[in-house]
Amino acid sequence: MVDTIVFVICAVICLTGAIGVIAARNPVHSALMLVMTLFGIAVLFIAQEAHFLAAVQVIVYAGAIVVLFLFVIMLLGVDVATDLELGKLRGQKTAAAGFAVVALAVVGYLIVNVDTTRTGVQSQGGVIDNVTPNVDLLAESLFDQYVYAFELTSVLLVVAVIGAVVLSRRHPPLDTDSAEASN
Amino acid sequence: MSGDPLLRGTIDFVDVLVVLFKVGIAFGFLLVATMFMVWFERKLISDMQNRIGPNVAGPWGILQTLADGLKFFFKEDLRPREADSLVFRLAPYLSVVTAFVAFAIVPVGGVFKDGDPTSGTVSLFGKETYLQVADPPMGILLLLAASSIAVYGIMLAGWSSGSKYPLLGAVRASAQAISYEAALGMAVVAVVIAAGSLSTHDIVAAQSGGYRSWYWFATGLIPFVVFFIAATAELNRPPFDLVEAEQELVGGFHTEYSSIRFAMFFLAEFMNVITMSAIMVTLFFGGPAGPIFFGLDWLFPTLWFFGKVLVFLFVFVWFRATLPRLRYDQLMNLGWKVLIPVMLGWLLVYRAIVLWRDDKIDPIPTIIVGSIIAIVCTALLTAAFSAGDRAFERENTPSDREGS
């Protein structure tokens, strides 16, 4: 009962946020709506007893990633409500409508054909047992079971960061001759 | 895995009342403590600067903050024409609410025993409960979450003012907060590793049993110092108050705020000082631990706790009276090039020492390999820093390059 109420409230918050992201005229408002969605999802994590994931969701997504979005929006000065010109991609609207229809069809099929609805109840498939803390379980899978995949992913991220720095860096002209001459 | 005994089993009406009571007490306490803190800071800094300070309202001027607060209520609430009205009104609430939330995880009393989940409880209305608003399993992460949301308050306040100095102040503030949050988080990691739990109740319980069982070696040396510096920066307290550097930015992110909205930022700032002090006591100094006299075990832990918090409040004011403000590049260098590498290195060294003590590793090869790795890493880091410095010099030397 409580689970369902929590789920419904969170679902409303998430969906309002998600619609707000694309509907808001102002990019900063969009970013704030995104934060709202992330919070809704964090509460859903808590409802599933995934406390650690909920905290990380807020710290990493809301606390770091959206803050970076806001940084970019503010510093690039695109924070004015602009009438974004749609339709720069040819056939974009048609394709979007097509995909939307397909997605809705899939959702509708699932609603009609899955006999037991499990919306808002606790996960049945996991190994969470309310005794071992979340962190221990996560650490076991990340640093024990899937340690190579984890390490490879982290290397990939480091490579991506360094690549971004190298590519975006503008080298000042290294005209040592003229610099020495001017001295 | 323990959790508050109040919330185990079935929850009846009295349980709800107890929770509401605790929330109300914490809320009221924080408001009063903030008033006290403002007065304390003004009075103390006056003494340090050889002045008198507030002395008119009430005995020793103790009601000065109340008078100021009332005055804020009756001032005109200005809103700039260029301001984004929705976000402008939202921002102060984001600051205040997060300041309240972080305090919820601090245990303020109770007698703790290591390894005993029923310790640290008090009796409220015939129910055993922890003397803290909440003991969530993610515990101390709630502090990091709250401080990362607090960035929004500052950032949006600056942006939505529609004015240039607040925007500059806000960008500075958020860059500073994000940079020091990394160091802050890693200092917390050291505590969590030492105590073996994220829950603040368990962290305090692990430190119970006298000052000798506080983790002097594991967290007392480097993590505490790093946490203290990072917390000061996170609070935008001097010497890290570049956010509201009057000489450069008028008033920083809240330049355009007036009346009660400004008061809310002010409240949040001082409330965060109290919360951070309480968190430091919890993480590093055993929370409510201390000797108990006359068998008054419901009173003395709380007294010890607030005594320890008061020491930190004093030190924060002392900082403000003593230290000059850092320059912006010094701030960033300290955060990224000193605190974070030091903290990462300490975590590795500490774990190695613990494994060595438990005879899990052979010391000689570990020391040899570890030293080689340390030397290589230090060399790489130094090379990176000097390359950065050279690039900085090159870009900032005045030359006639523009002509060519």
pLDDT score for A171? 65
Strands B127-130 and B121-124: antiparallel
Contact B148 A28 (CB under 8 A): no
Angle made by CA atoms B122, B125, B126, in degrees to the nearest 5: 70
Can you give the three-state secondary structure of A116-153, one letter per residue?
Answer: CCCCCCCCCCCCCCCCCCHHHHHHHHHHHHCHHHHHHH
Q: Which amino acid is at B124?
A: L
| DSSP letter (8 states) at residue A169 | P
Q: Is residue B209 part of a domain?
A: yes
Q: Is the confidence at residue A125, as pLDDT, over 60?
A: no
Q: Is the confidence at residue A99, as pLDDT, over 90?
A: yes
Residue-wise pLDDT for B266-279, tens only, equals 888 889 999 999 99
A182 pLDDT band, cuts 50/70/90, is: very low
Q: How many domains does chain B have?
A: 2
Q: Is residue B402 part of a domain?
A: no
Contacts of A24 by beta carbon, 8 Å cutoff, 6+ apart:
A30, A33
Contact A134 B156 (CB under 8 A): no
Nearest to A182 among B90, B174, B400 (CB): B400
Based on the domain organization, do B287 and B372 belong to the same domain?
no
Q: Which amino acid is at B141?
A: L
Contact yes or no for B170/B155 (Cβ under 8 A): yes
Residue A137 Cα distances to A50, A128, A133, A151, angstroms: 11, 8, 7, 18
Based on the domain organization, do B47 and B92 belong to the same domain?
yes
Based on the domain organization, do B85 and B207 belong to the same domain?
yes
Shortest Cα–Cα distance, A55 to chain B (Å): 6
DSSP, collapsed to helix, strand or coil, labels residue A9 as helix
Percent of chain A with pLDDT over 70: 75
Partner B, chain A 31-60, Cβ-Cβ below 8 Å: 32, 35, 51-52, 54-56, 58-59
Contact yes or no for B98/B150 (Cβ under 8 A): yes
Shortest Cα–Cα distance, A98 to chain B (Å): 36
**Total residue count of chain A as it appears in this document:** 183
Q: What are the chain B neighbours of A135 within 8 Å (beta carbons)?
A: 198
What b/e readout covers A138-153, taking b as 16+ CB neighbours within 10 angstroms?
Answer: eeeeeeeeeeeeeeee
Taking the C-alpha atoms of residue B259 and residue B255, their distance in angstroms, rounded to an integer, is 12
Residue B136 Cα distances to A6, A47, A146, B130, B317, angstroms: 18, 13, 28, 12, 32
Q: Across the strands, what pairs with B123?
A: B128
Contact B171 A55 (CB under 8 A): no
Based on the domain organization, do B307 and B255 belong to the same domain?
yes
Can you give the three-state secondary structure of B68-137, one letter per residue?
Answer: HHHHHHHCCCCCCCCCCHHHHHHHHHHHHHHHHHHHCCCCCCCCCCCCCCCCCEEEECCEEEECCCCCCC
- DSSP string covering B296-307: -TTTHHHHHHHH
pLDDT score for B21? 86
Partner B, chain A 142-161, Cβ-Cβ below 8 Å: none
Shortest Cα–Cα distance, A88 to chain B (Å): 29
Mean pLDDT over A47-60 rounds to: 85
Based on the domain organization, do B154 and B209 belong to the same domain?
yes
Tokens found for residue B224 = 């505490």
Based on the domain organization, do B256 and B345 belong to the same domain?
yes
Nearest to A67 among B137, B144, B178 (CB): B178
Based on the domain organization, do B367 and B349 belong to the same domain?
no
Question: Which residue reads 């969906």 in tokens?
Answer: A15
Burial of B182 (0-12, 13-18, 19+ CB in 10 A): middle
Q: What are the chain A neighbours of B174 within 8 Å (beta carbons)?
A: 67, 70-71
Measuring CA to CA, which residue among B344, B348, B335 is closest to residue B229?
B335
Shortest Cα–Cα distance, A106 to chain B (Å): 36
Taking the C-alpha atoms of residue B26 and residue B199, their distance in angstroms, rounded to an integer, is 19
pLDDT score for A14? 93
Taking the C-alpha atoms of residue A63 and residue B291, their distance in angstroms, rounded to an integer, is 40
Measuring CA to CA, which residue among B107, B27, B338, B354 is closest to residue B217?
B354
Shortest Cα–Cα distance, B68 to chain A (Å): 33
Percent of chain B with pLDDT over 90: 5
Contact A51 B86 (CB under 8 A): no
pLDDT score for A151? 92
* Confidence (pTM): 0.82
Taking the C-alpha atoms of residue B44 and residue B39, their distance in angstroms, rounded to an integer, is 8
Contact A58 B149 (CB under 8 A): yes
* B337 or A116, which is more confident: B337
Nearest to A52 among B87, B138, B167 (CB): B138
Measuring CA to CA, which residue among A68, A18, A22 is closest to residue A38?
A18
Question: Which residues of chain B, if any, have pLDDT below 70?
Answer: 1-9, 114-120, 124-126, 209-213, 245-247, 295, 398-404
Q: How far separated are the first and last CA of chain B, in Å rounded?
A: 69
Based on the domain organization, do B252 and B382 belong to the same domain?
no
Based on the domain organization, do B366 and B350 belong to the same domain?
no
Nearest CA in chain A to B142: A55
Taking the C-alpha atoms of residue B7 and residue B201, their distance in angstroms, rounded to an integer, is 15
pLDDT score for A157? 94
Residue B177 Cα distances to A82, B108, B231, angstroms: 30, 27, 9
Q: Is residue B242 part of a domain?
A: yes
Q: Which of B152, B181, B197, B380 to mutate to test the interface with A (most CBs of A within 10 A)?
A: B152
Residues of B with CB under 8 A from a CB of A: 1, 84, 86-87, 90, 136-138, 141-142, 144-145, 148-149, 151-152, 155-156, 159-160, 167, 170-171, 174-175, 178, 181, 197-198, 391, 394-395, 399-401, 404
- DSSP string covering B377-398: HHHHHHHHHHHHHHHHHHHHS-
**Total residue count of chain B as it appears in this document:** 404
Q: What are the chain A neighbours of B16 within 8 Å (beta carbons)?
A: none
Ramachandran angles phi, psi of B130, nearest 5°: -75, 150
Taking the C-alpha atoms of residue A62 and residue B149, their distance in angstroms, rounded to an integer, is 7
Q: Is the dihedral of CA A70, A76, A81, A84 positive or negative?
A: negative
Q: What are the chain B neighbours of A62 within 8 Å (beta carbons)?
A: 145, 148-149
Tokens found for residue B260 = 């009660």
Nearest to B138 among A51, A173, A182 (CB): A51
Tokens found for residue B156 = 């949006």
Q: What are the chain B neighbours of A78 within 8 Å (beta carbons)?
A: none
Taking the C-alpha atoms of residue B264 and residue B353, their distance in angstroms, rounded to an integer, is 46
Peptide bond into B239 cis (omega under 30): yes
Q: What are the chain A neighbours of B176 within 8 Å (beta carbons)?
A: none
- Structural domain including B381 reads 362-394
Based on the domain organization, do B290 and B388 belong to the same domain?
no
Nearest CA in chain B to A77: B159
Residue-wise pLDDT for B157-212, tens only, equals 888 887 788 888 888 888 888 888 888 988 998 888 888 888 888 888 888 766 66
pLDDT score for A126? 56
Residue B157 Cα distances to A64, A106, B55, B170, B299, angstroms: 18, 43, 33, 7, 41
Question: Which residue reads 């704030």 in tokens?
Answer: A32
Taking the C-alpha atoms of residue B403 and residue B399, their distance in angstroms, rounded to an integer, is 9
Based on the domain organization, do B114 and B213 belong to the same domain?
yes
Contact B159 A173 (CB under 8 A): no
Contact yes or no for A67/B152 (Cβ under 8 A): yes
DSSP, collapsed to helix, strand or coil, labels residue A100 as helix
Mean pLDDT over A100-124 rounds to: 76
Residue-wise pLDDT for A5-43, tens only, equals 888 999 999 999 999 998 888 888 888 899 999 999 999
Q: What are the chain A neighbours of B86 within 8 Å (beta carbons)?
A: 29
Ramachandran angles phi, psi of B304, nearest 5°: -60, -45
Based on the domain organization, do B375 and B280 belong to the same domain?
no
Q: What are the chain B neighbours of A58 within 8 Å (beta carbons)?
A: 145, 148-149
Does the structure's ipTM exceed the value 0.85?
A: no
Q: Is the confidence at residue A181, as pLDDT, over 50?
A: no
A98 pLDDT band, cuts 50/70/90, is: very high
